[in-house]
Amino acid sequence: MSSQRVEAAIEVIRSSGGRATVDRRAVIEVLDGNPDHLTADEVADAVRASHPDVNLATIYRTLELLERLELAFHVHLGHGPSRWHLAGEVHHHLVCERCGSVVEVPDATFDPLRRQLLDATGFAVDPHHFSLVGRCADCVERDRTR
């Protein structure tokens, strides 16, 4: 598997002075090849399926490197371990506290709130790291019909 995103990430690692190892490429390929946001353990399981000798510590260090280089990010989707995804179009996460569904919303959705908070408090909010918890449209509708 060799996508443009994988090759671009490898190039960023190299240009930052890092080595483009087989292990690092495998982690990037797993993140690139999966539409879901994965836990570090899920990344490790997928990497080890094709590279059984990769150490868990190597996977964690690779994820940290990718985040430091802004190639991947972790997010907290409610309770439980953080989940990882490759950088791309910036988005945020809405998590239903009832059914657990996750809705991705574009970054621009938060622009009015960012401006309002900055104007009112001088605080520049960065909502990328955490999700917002509430109820999805389906669960809201189910509550209305009860």
Sign of CA dihedral 128, 110, 32, 80: positive
16 and 39 together in one domain: yes
DSSP codes joined into one string, 65-112: HHHHTTSEEEEB-SSSS-EEEE--S-EEEEEETTT--EEEEEGGGGHH
27-45 residue pLDDT tens? 999 999 988 889 999 999 9
Q: How confident is the model at residue 100 (pLDDT cuts 50, 70, 90)?
A: confident
Place of tokens 């990010």: 73
* CA–CA dist 44, 42 (Å, integer): 5
57 and 95 together in one domain: no
68 and 44 together in one domain: yes
- Asked if residue 20 has pLDDT above 60, the reply is yes
* CA–CA dist 87, 6 (Å, integer): 11
Domain, as residue range, for 32: 4-86
- Asked if residue 1 has pLDDT above 50, the reply is no
Structural domain tally of the chain? 2
Q: Looking at residue 2, what is its pLDDT? A: 56
57 and 75 together in one domain: yes
125 and 139 together in one domain: yes
42 and 113 together in one domain: no
CATH code for position 98: 3.30.1490.190
Q: How confident is the model at residue 87 (pLDDT cuts 50, 70, 90)?
A: confident
Q: What is the mean pLDDT of the chain?
A: 91
pTM: 0.80
15 and 45 together in one domain: yes
